[in-house]
Chains A and B, each alone.
Chain A
Amino acid sequence: MFAFLVKRLAATVPVLLIVAVLVFLLLRLTPGDPAAIIAGDAASPENVAKIRENLGLSKPLIAQFGIWFGNVLAGDLGESYFFKVKVAELIMQRIEPTLALSICTIVIAVLVAVPLGVLAAWKQGGWLDRMLMGFSVMGFSIPVFVLAYILIWIVSLKLGWLPVQGYERIAGGFGPFIRHLILPSITLSVIYIALIARVTRASVQDVLSEDYIRTARAKGLPENRVLIAHALANAAVPIITVIGIGVALLIGGVVVTESVYGIPGLGRLTVDAVLARDFPTIQGVILFFSFVYVLINLLVDLSYLAFDPRIRY
């Protein structure tokens, strides 16, 4: 167990290193000069060159990387070109909305998808099963922004039940906070409901043909206990895995959702930073996302221990 943790944490180092190099190089290879954007349309070439000099962009690529990476190792992600604050501070400011949206999305997805998947597996080939399979094909194929606009149009504009856009900090009261989160979370959760429900269905279906399910029925247990205590408990590992993958994929999802609903989170920050060619911010945010991704994977692996006593690290 201890050996496993040490090995896994050590393995994050090369992953983050590769991410750092790739992000750095990719940004330098894409067209667009941050200095020109900061200087504005009317700026003189001398002015732009001066800004470039100040930002350290005139140094050779390898030197730029060395300075940035040295700072990162020292715990400093640098300062944003655009917002003129520390990137670390920027991330801390923007993390609450993204965290709230992600948690809300995953909670909705799991609460809806797991029971649906179990029921579909139980009544395999029944109407619920067929409807769920149809729904999940739709859920996979409909783009997030299309769904977002449809929901805004129906729920907010036609029915007037929920706000169209925006975000309220949790410090400003739970009511407004949650009212602003509902629509974005539902929008974002649809694809995860489709994904998790399908995996739950397949996994539970496999388990239902196991001998110990027959044993459970031979004990005279009611079906709900057979399904939950015996089938779902054994089907958990693949479901947890896909939920973990879902959380990681969410990071991509929040970029679009936050933009459509005007939520000032990390996704929105990424878009703004890319548009402004704000190199330190982009690098910092992506490195942070990678770290979170690796951490989630580790947590998922550790959670297997709780769900299956046969797994030992």
Chain B
Amino acid sequence: MGAVLEIRDLTIALPRGADRGNAVTGVNLTVDRGEIVCLVGESGSGKSVIAHAVMGLSPKELRATGGEILLEGEDILKASPARLRELRCVRMSMIFQEPMTALNPVMRCDAQIEEVLAMHTSLNAEERRARVRRIIEEVHLPDPERMMASYPHQLSGGQRQRIMIAIALIMEPVLLIADEPTTALDVTTQAQILKLIRELQQKHGTGVLFITHDFGVVAEIADRVAVLRLGALVETKTKTELLARPEHAYTQMLIASVPSIKPRHRGSDAAAPIVLKTEALAKIYSSGGFLARKREVHAAVDVSFTLRRGQTLGIVGESGSGKSTVARCIARLIDPTSGSVKLGNDEIATMSAGALRPLRRRVQIVFQDPYRSLNPRRTVGEAIIEGPLNYGISRSDALERARKLMETVRLDPSALNRYPHQFSGGQRQRICIARALAMEPELLIADEAVSALDVSVQAQVLDLLDEIRDRMNLAMLFITHDLRVAAQVCDHVAVMSKGRVVEYGTAADVFGAPQHAYTQALFAAAPGRDYAFGS
């Protein structure tokens, strides 16, 4: 067994003024032929820096200051730009996280694949075309002729990732670097792509360096696992050994932070007053009209559920299922097309904007992306007190409330006059929670509020949300695509698919014995379900 990739004592310096001296320090790692090595770490651990260094794609600011990267014995760090171009896609290939943006939007898919052959082989046009067709079939894309003639925007995320894989593997390289290739995909698509990578890698004996933050994915695909923390490897072991007996405290913490897929049993008062009740809620988007064909998209259809004080209702679904549309209708950020939304005793689905304004305080939202949901030009204090000030609370009272809330979300109250960019992602999400709570809402909507966070931070924020719900006796609507997260915080779960609620019941029922075929498929696709994480 020869190593296709051997990283020896690799050190890559960060530019001056960064939060640490080196992006990567003294990393030793090998990938053998036919082996999948998972490089696991949280954001900022340096895992992508290593991947880009292997491909010779590092930005100028990130120069290797020591060590070597041997691809079949040849040191990449010493290779000329021309030599690197010869190696890329021929001996080593890379696939990326965002299939939505990794393909050229103005070039047909076949041209994007064929370009590799035109560059690296002397095949004529006809032979190239035949080869492209073969690889398209090999990555199991349906209707190859149509796929080849399509532009990327006409394909789904999973299909685009298959095109990326076709580009990466058409020259049958010895090394494939996969940088979070399934993170942006739905769970069922993720399962298919993981299976595909496994299949092709075994067929061609490719060595794979698979970068991920998700232990579920590790459990699915890895042969060996290397855990990276702040640029240094803390532990490298075979998968079974690492998952069963993690030695390093950091690895143990990471694995313990993965939420269990078994619902946590929680007592909730079934007779508590109803905070939110929707009946036959629907949202239909229509476009076209004058001279153009009219098109309708049924984003949400016939959505009915009830949420009581002190309870959490999870809406679980994949992208395009309509879960965010429902959240937005309930907060009246968009107007429902039909149906009823009752907040306490008030029907808000049809209320005029003016009449609604006094009620807006009662429903607050925490959004997915903590980097974009805070205005970068205002201090976090200003962000938190803006809402209360609008509802006529005096500045000093609002500030007092903001200081208390900062403590509630475990942040230093003296940080109120700092700006969002001075906080980490997890801290920003806490600020967003504080901002929502400042309005003293009855209903808190968390729209994928922990999806963008690292698993250890995610665990903390989930605990915080749980604690706040109990302490403030809130009703919480928890929108997520992640079954594990839903299992941990929800009392009731509504599973949505294509705009409809396909299954609705207590978390124990839905997770214990899913009835609907779609729910069952979701569970079957959940990565790492054979390992008992978080128990």
Chain A residues within 8 Å of B, Cβ to Cβ: 2-3, 6-7, 210-212, 214-222, 225, 229-230, 233-234, 236, 307-310
A-B contact pairs, 27 of them (CB 8 A): A3-B290, A3-B291, A6-B291, A211-B98, A211-B102, A212-B102, A215-B102, A215-B164, A215-B167, A217-B57, A218-B55, A219-B89, A219-B167, A220-B116, A220-B119, A220-B120, A222-B85, A222-B119, A229-B107, A230-B104, A234-B104, A234-B106, A308-B106, A309-B106, A309-B151, A310-B106, A310-B153
Residues in A whose Cβ lies below 8 Å from that of B430 = none
Contact (Cβ within 8 A) B153 A221: no
With an 8 A cutoff between CB atoms, is B320 at the interface? no
The listed residue with most B CB atoms (<10 A of its CB), out of A210, A218, A225, A229, is A218
Contact (Cβ within 8 A) B107 A220: no
- Docked pose: A3 CA to B287 CA in angstroms: 14
Residues in B whose Cβ lies below 8 Å from that of A236 = 106
- Docked pose: A214 CA to B86 CA in angstroms: 16
Evaluate whether A218 and B89 lie within 8 angstroms (CB atoms) in the complex, with A211-B96, A310-B153 already known. yes
Residues in B whose Cβ lies below 8 Å from that of A230 = 104, 107
Residues in A whose Cβ lies below 8 Å from that of B90 = 220
Name the CB-closest residue of A to B92. Answer: A218
- Docked pose: A216 CA to B88 CA in angstroms: 10
**Shortest Cβ distance from residue B470 to the other chain A in the assembled complex, whole angstroms:** 42
Name the CB-closest residue of B to A222. Answer: B85
**Shortest Cβ distance from residue A234 to the other chain B in the assembled complex, whole angstroms:** 6
With an 8 A cutoff between CB atoms, is B512 at the interface? no
With an 8 A cutoff between CB atoms, is B44 at the interface? no
Name the CB-closest residue of B to A1. Answer: B292
- Docked pose: A222 CA to B167 CA in angstroms: 16
Residues in A whose Cβ lies below 8 Å from that of B119 = 219-222, 225
**Shortest Cβ distance from residue B177 to the other chain A in the assembled complex, whole angstroms:** 9
- Docked pose: A7 CA to B101 CA in angstroms: 33
Contact (Cβ within 8 A) A218 B101: no
Residues in B whose Cβ lies below 8 Å from that of A229 = 107, 115
Name the CB-closest residue of B to A234. Answer: B106
Contact (Cβ within 8 A) A310 B115: no
Contact (Cβ within 8 A) B291 A2: yes
Per a CB cutoff under 8 Å, which of B87, B153, B164, B290 touches A220? B87
Evaluate whether A220 and B106 lie within 8 angstroms (CB atoms) in the complex, with A3-B290, A3-B292, A309-B151 already known. no
- Docked pose: A6 CA to B106 CA in angstroms: 27
With an 8 A cutoff between CB atoms, is B93 at the interface? yes
Contact (Cβ within 8 A) B96 A219: no
Name the CB-closest residue of A to B103. Answer: A212
- Docked pose: A219 CA to B173 CA in angstroms: 11
Name the CB-closest residue of B to A313. Answer: B292
Evaluate whether A220 and B151 lie within 8 angstroms (CB atoms) in the complex, with A3-B292, A212-B102 already known. no
Contact (Cβ within 8 A) A307 B106: yes
Evaluate whether A214 and B96 lie within 8 angstroms (CB atoms) in the complex, with A222-B85, A307-B106, A308-B105 already known. yes
- Docked pose: A234 CA to B153 CA in angstroms: 14
- Docked pose: A221 CA to B96 CA in angstroms: 17
Name the CB-closest residue of A to B85. Answer: A220
Residues in B whose Cβ lies below 8 Å from that of A2 = 291
Residues in A whose Cβ lies below 8 Å from that of B96 = 211, 214-215
- Docked pose: A84 CA to B423 CA in angstroms: 77
With an 8 A cutoff between CB atoms, is B94 at the interface? yes
Q: Map CB proximity to A onto B358-375 as digits: 1 under 8 Å, 0 otherwise.
A: 000000000000000000
**Shortest Cβ distance from residue A233 to the other chain B in the assembled complex, whole angstroms:** 5
Residues in A whose Cβ lies below 8 Å from that of B88 = 217-220
Contact (Cβ within 8 A) B290 A215: no
Evaluate whether A215 and B103 lie within 8 angstroms (CB atoms) in the complex, with A3-B290, A309-B153 already known. yes
- Docked pose: A7 CA to B289 CA in angstroms: 13
Contact (Cβ within 8 A) B104 A218: no
The listed residue with most A CB atoms (<10 A of its CB), out of B93, B96, B104, is B104
Residues in B whose Cβ lies below 8 Å from that of A222 = 85, 119
Per a CB cutoff under 8 Å, which of B85, B93, B106, B164 touches A221? B85
Residues in B whose Cβ lies below 8 Å from that of A221 = 85, 115, 119
Residues in A whose Cβ lies below 8 Å from that of B290 = 3, 7
Task: Tell me the residues in window 191-231 of chain B with beta carbons closer than 8 Å to chain A beta carbons.
Answer: none
Q: Known pairs A219-B116, A220-B90, A220-B119. 19 more at Cβ < 8 A?
A: A3-B292, A6-B291, A210-B101, A214-B102, A215-B103, A215-B104, A217-B57, A218-B55, A219-B88, A220-B86, A220-B87, A220-B89, A221-B85, A222-B119, A230-B104, A309-B105, A309-B106, A309-B151, A310-B105
Contact (Cβ within 8 A) A214 B57: yes
